[in-house]
Structure 1
Amino acid sequence: MYTSLQQFIADYSNEAEGTQKLLDLLTDEALGQEVSPGYRTLGRLAWHIVTTVPEMLQRTGLQFDAPYAHAEAPVSATEIAATYRSAVQSMLEALRSQWTDETLQHEVNLYGDLWRNGYSLHVFLMHEVHHRGQMTILMRQAGLTLPGMYGPAKEEWTAMGMEAPVV
């Protein structure tokens, strides 16, 4: 649970940068990639990340500009990436202007339970990282080259003249 607004902003800004890198690599052709029939496509998963920004955080009372949680997913990868960038900026500005460290202790009914806002921010961040991991699998299946998130990707190891560790 976050007890410092600045700590969340620092953590989320770093993770959102990683998410933005992935979203910027999407192609319109790749948006239809699915792990198996009947599961979310890459485009639907990317849009889910975008719309979770307002869906979860606006439930806490935080007000900012972002797409409606159930808005139809765009067919343009560029539009998905741009919408995420805008929603994140709007959300971070709202946090800075509407909340304080004390606000993180306030409890709000989320999904049938009382969650402190600091916990909601933690869950929100973990939710995004979880779905970002799912995206990387679909992106690889679609033939896209990925950047490393917490260390070099296979292609980055190769570019450094090294063999990627298998273990």
Structure 2
Amino acid sequence: MSIGECRRLVLMRHAKSDWGDNSLSDHDRPLNRRGMADAPLMARWLAENDLIPDQILCSSAERTRETVELMVQVWPGELSWSAVDSLYLASPDTIVSMIRSGFSGAKTLMVVAHNPGMAYLASMLAGKGVDMPTAAIAVFGVSHSEWDDLDSETPLELTHFMRPKAL
């Protein structure tokens, strides 16, 4: 696979969530005001850097779905995305397993999920510690010809990293 054909993996931690309603389960917590502002901000950053994903996979939690919904409104056209229960508070191995299953057509695949799994996976793939505050994005170049060749033990090139407070 040539450099021009390199796949990209975009890992994102959901935007800032609201802790104000104690009656809600963790899974059902929505975004707070800052999260609602940060999600489109990060979507614009991805667009400005030519990193709009072909497909998005996100946790089924309310805050991850809201993050994705706000982001796709910024980008042109229709974008394929799926919310998956197994990404809720998932381990790095579970996240990699989800990436490996059924995304062969995606050149740029985005996963929106939770810490600590996202920070652990980003750190494992980068081969160094990567802090993933809310709405942070880590982008990796993936030279594998297929997503199912990806594993968490083989470091990838961290090509971009951004968090809302840096914009």
TM-score class normalised by the smaller sequence: under 0.3
Task: Name the one with the larger strand percent.
Answer: 2
Decide which structure has the larger Cα Rg and report it: 1
- Normalised by the length of structure 1, the TM-score is 0.28
- Normalised by the length of structure 2, the TM-score is 0.28
